[in-house]
Each structure stands twice: as structure tokens, then as C-alpha cells.
Amino acid sequence: MNERIGIKDIAKKAGVSKGTVDRVLHNRGNVSPIAREKVNAAMKELDYVPNVIASALASKKSWKIAVLMPDSKNDPFWNQPKAGILRAKKALRDYKVMIDFYPFRDADPDHFNSCADEILSKEYHALLISASFLKEGQKVLKKCEAKELPYIQINTFLERKSECFLSYIGQDSYASGMLAAKLLNFGVEEGASAMILHLEKGTNNAKHLVDKEKGFINFFSKNKKRKINIVKGSFGDVFDKKELHQYLKEMLEKTPNVQGVFVTTSKLFHIVPILKKLGRTDIKLVGFDLIDNNLKYLYNDKIHFLINQNPKKQGFMGIMNLFNHLVLKKEINALQLLPLDVVMKENVQYYLEDKEEEIHLVF
């Protein structure tokens, strides 16, 4: 049953050799229009689907992919996308896919540039990039386009109009802001206050933070049935604990009845001990990312919700989509927004488990 038909079948049907079928299949040229037409007709009639297994085995081509993302030494967050990339690499080990990492120091645009130049000086088939720097990122992508090097962006999205731009894989920042708002709205009483707090430098230059803020605020302005007072805070240097303590103290004093705080990055854990010192353990907290420091507080009920952005999956899907594009010539979606998982103590295990789960191949 279920006899799969191969190129020799369509060759026979079309009255040509399998060599000709192969040439039609891969647009290698040197095929007469008549032959091409016969082959196409036969393929359509027999509903030919290439056998990827045999194809992969026979193919001699190898594919080189460069990865340009921040060094995980400086920010452990980047270990997760990296883990996803390595898992993808393992999944593709029987295909000739080579992956080279170019980690750049995350606060060093010059280093970012020099890494990019090194990539561009070599012969890669594609690039997986997470461009932290707005201006430099745009420049690098422009250079890629000049060299016709296709790329996929993860985590940070710089808009480009080009054939080379294949996809952005990451989160929808605006939606994540709304989600945080909805969660706080659920747990905060009518008439009370909720705070959105940026704990980063240069907040206004970071598009994703601006978007999160928009989402958060728009949720409450749309939702007119319940009145919640929204305040916005911003503090750059989380390592200056004394100043941060002072800042939060003043904010909470001048804002009446704050019942919830939304921190727009993974740095929520910094304010937990401070709130404790201020005797405000009643405040409900929402933040991002399942990093150890946050998890600790999630486990003992200090943090109520963490929104998970699937960083590992971002890396994994980045490579898998490039594979899809390069090797299997499939269309890939230009925008791939990953789920915003709502994580609590009771379901966190499912999002952490790193058991040897299935490996995902894209056909």
C-alpha cells in the first residue's frame, strides 16, 4: 500500500530519463521546453513529493550559518538561545549544516561591528542575528543585503525591506504589555494604583520597552469599566541598591495605594528585597523571564507571575527556519511571534523541563 512514487516513475511517465527530471526539479537548465512540460505534467499527475531522506543522503552540498548574538558570559540570558541553536545543530547533524558563533560583548558596538565584518568577509550561506544596537544593527543588515546574505533576526526586531530579510522570531512586546496589565488588573482592586517600572538605561531608545509600555497603558485606557490609577517609573542602575531603595520609597509614598508593579524586563528580582524592607510585601509583582533570580521568588510566592518569552525556542527556530529556507527551499513566515506563556509556581515546571524532548525538523 501507499506506494511512494519517485523520480524514476515520473521519468517513465514523461518518457524521459531521470536526469532530465532532476534538471527540471532543480532548475538546472539545459532542458527543452517540450521535455520540461512533459515532466511537469507527469509530476502534477502523479502528485510527486520529493523524498527528503534520499535527497539529503545524496546531496553533497554543505551549508554554513553564522550566528551573531551577545556573549552569554556577560548576560546569562543568552545561554538559552544558544542552547536552542545547539539543539537544532544536533537535530540536523545528518544534513551538512555548519554553525559558527560570533559572540559580541553586549555593551560594545565596536565589537559588534568587527564581528559582523568578520562574518561578511567569509562565505556564509545565511546569518542568524540578534542586533542589540539600533543604529549599528541597521548598518550591518544593510551590508548583508549588499552581499546578498540572507538573515533571520531573533529577540530584537529591526525593520528592513529586503529580499535578504527572511524572518523575525521573537515576542510581541505590545501584547506582552497588555498581558501584564490584564494580570495586574485581575489582582488589583478598583480604585487602587498599578505601576509600570523600567529598570534599564536609555529606555526610550529601546523599542521593545516602549512597546511594552504602550500595551500596558492601552489596556487600562481601553478598559473603562474599572478605574485603576497608572503610574510610570524608570530607574537605570539596579546595582546602586541604595538609590533604588530611595527611589522606590518615594514612588510608593507619593502614589496612593499601589497594589501591583510590572517590571518590563527580567530585572524584577532586584526590587523584591527592597519591597520587603519597605514592608510592602502585599504588592503583586509581574515580570519577565525564567532566570534563577526570578524563579527563587516565584517559588516562595514573592513574585506572582513571570511572562516567559521562550528564548531557547527562539534560537532553535531560528536555525530550523534557515535550514528550511536554504536546504528545503520552503517559504518561511516573515514574522513568527512566540507564545507569551503565563508562568506561576504551579506550572513553572513545564516551561523549565529540559528533558531530552523531541527534536523538531522542518519539512
Partner DNA sequence: TCTAATACTGTGCACGCACACAGCCAATTT
Partner DNA sequence: AAATTGGCTGTGTGCGTGCACAGTATTAGA
Residue 268, amino acid:
L
Of residues 5, 210, 274, 337, which one binds a copy of itself by CB under 8 A? 337
Of residues 41, 44, 45, 50, which one binds DNA by CB under 7 A? 50
Q: Which of residues 71-110 bind DNA (CB under 7 A)?
A: none
Nearest Cα neighbor of 230 from 192, 272, 203 is 192
The three cell numbers of residue 108 are 560594545
CB of 139 to a copy of itself, least distance (A): 31
Nearest Cα neighbor of 69 from 141, 153, 9 is 153
* Residue found under cell 524572518: 167
Which one of a copy of itself, DNA, none interacts with residue 299, CB within 5 to 8 A by kind?
A: none
Nearest Cα neighbor of 154 from 178, 126, 177 is 126
The three cell numbers of residue 277 are 524592607
Residue 149, amino acid:
L
DSSP 8-state assignment for residue 288:
E
* Binding region for a copy of itself (CB under 8 A) out of 17-25, 47-55, 115-123, 233-241: 47-55
x/- mask, a copy of itself, residues 155-184, rule CB under 8 A, reads: --------------------x--xx--xx-
Nearest Cα neighbor of 84 from 359, 287, 331 is 359
Of residues 41, 49, 146, 334, which one binds a copy of itself by CB under 8 A? 49
Residue 89, SS3?
helix
Does 94 contact a copy of itself by CB under 8 A? yes
Does 32 contact DNA by CB under 7 A? yes
* Binding region for DNA (CB under 7 A) out of 13-21, 107-115, 187-195, 250-258: 13-21
Does 340 contact a copy of itself by CB under 8 A? yes
* Binding region for a copy of itself (CB under 8 A) out of 102-110, 130-138, 196-204, 334-342: 334-342
Residue among 61 and 93 whose Cβ is closer to a copy of itself: 93
What is the gyration radius of the CA atoms in the chain, in angstroms? Answer: 25
The three cell numbers of residue 12 are 517513465
Q: Which residues contact 207 (CB under 8 A, 6 or more apart)?
A: 134, 157, 173
x/- mask, a copy of itself, residues 56-75, rule CB under 8 A, reads: xx------------------
Nearest Cα neighbor of 20 from 6, 35, 5, 34 is 35
Q: Other C-beta atoms within 10 Å of 260: how many?
A: 25
Distance (Å, whole) CA 229 – CA 240: 28
Residue among 49 and 335 whose Cβ is closer to DNA: 49
Distances (CA, A) of 31 to 26, 98, 289, 308: 11, 33, 55, 52
> ∠ CA(141), CA(325), CA(63), 5° rounding?
85
Does 342 contact a copy of itself by CB under 8 A? yes
Which one of DNA, a copy of itself, none interacts with residue 23, CB within 5 to 8 A by kind?
A: DNA
Residue among 254 and 355 whose Cβ is closer to a copy of itself: 355
Burial (CB < 10 A; 0-12, 13-18, 19+), residue 46, is: middle
Of residues 91, 195, 258, 290, which one binds a copy of itself by CB under 8 A? 91
Count the residues of the shown chain that bind a copy of itself, applying the rule CB under 8 A. Answer: 52
Distance (Å, whole) CA 260 – CA 255: 12
x/- mask, a copy of itself, residues 209-248, rule CB under 8 A, reads: ----------x-----------------------------
CB of 306 to a copy of itself, least distance (A): 11
Nearest Cα neighbor of 127 from 111, 109, 110, 145 is 145
Contacting residues toward DNA, per CB under 7 A:
4, 6-8, 15-20, 22-23, 25-26, 29-36, 50-51, 54-55, 57-61
Contacting residues toward a copy of itself, per CB under 8 A:
1-2, 4, 49, 51-54, 56-57, 90-91, 93-96, 98, 175, 178-179, 182-183, 186-187, 189, 219, 284, 304, 317, 320, 324, 333, 337-347, 350-351, 355, 358-363
